[in-house]
Amino acid sequence: DTGVSQDPRHKITKRGQNVTFRCDPISEHNRLYWYRQTLGQGPEFLTYFQNEAQLEKSRLLSDRFSAERPKGSFSTLEIQRTEQGDSAMYLCASRSNELAGGSYEQYFGPGTRLTVT
Amino acid sequence: GENVEQHPSTLSVQEGDSAVIKCTYSDSASNYFPWYKQELGKRPQLIIDIRSNVGEKKDQRIAVTLNKTAKHFSLHITETQPEDSAVYFCAAGGYQKVTFGIGTKLQVIP
């Protein structure tokens, strides 16, 4: 257990519905990342925050996706009008701003597996 | 943006043999190269990383080498054990973020 938690762990939804996922990072980490992972692929960057500021959003992310980190602690990722192609594992990761021993290690959560039927 | 290619996609080795996974990257500004291990149904976890001011780094049975001129880096696992079986991801980037490769599924045959 890295200390990063995600909720829910699994979500099944019907096409067209909205879903929201939550990530709780390690408390002292001010950077938070969202990734999407499909079978046989590496984590694909979606967006990241430094504290409450969303610093970058992937061009691959459609406007159906939105993420927030209102108080610089937990974050939410919302997908509106879900499509079958949104089915994937959504991973959250956090890291410190500090360079710890030369490492920018990201600590991953267990992920939320989304299935859109 | 950064583009990371990783190969092979699958690798089978006999227990005790060495395994090598190779990655190339496109952005010459990248200066941080981590490797993550993901066991089935689990989260990715960092196993080793290297920064561009270092050409090689070793941690017990795991080593990473970096060739900045050629823009490639490799993971070497020696004396492989069954518990090394997993998917390994390379990544390249910097302080802000990293881009991951597609992964290599390593199977260590007892």
pLDDT greater than 70 at residue A100: no
pLDDT greater than 70 at residue A1: yes
Q: For all residues of chain B together, what is the average pLDDT?
A: 95
- Give strand pairing partners of B92: B99
pLDDT greater than 70 at residue A76: yes
> How large a percentage of chain A has pLDDT more than 90?
80
A contact residues 45-64, partner B, Cβ 8 Å cutoff: 45, 48, 55-56
Q: What is the 3-state secondary structure (H, E, C) of chain A?
A: CCCCEEECCEEEECCCCCEEEEEECCCCCCEEEEEEECCCCCCEEEEEEECCEEEEECCCCCCCEEEECCCCCCEEEEECCCCHHHCEEEEEEEECCCCECCECCCEECCCEEEEEC
Q: Do the Cβ atoms of B94 and B3 come closer than 8 Å?
A: no
pLDDT for position A96: 86
Interchain CB distance below 8 Å, B46 and A106? yes
- Tell me which residue of A76, A43, A83, A48 sits closest to A62, measured CA to CA: A83
Question: Cα B95 to chain center, whole Å?
Answer: 18
Interchain CB distance below 8 Å, B89 and A43? yes
Q: How far apart are CA B42 and CA A108, in angstroms?
A: 10
Interchain CB distance below 8 Å, A42 and B42? no
Q: How far apart are CA A21 and CA A77, in angstroms?
A: 5
Of B65 and B41, the one with more pLDDT = B65
pLDDT band, residue B37 (cuts 50/70/90): very high
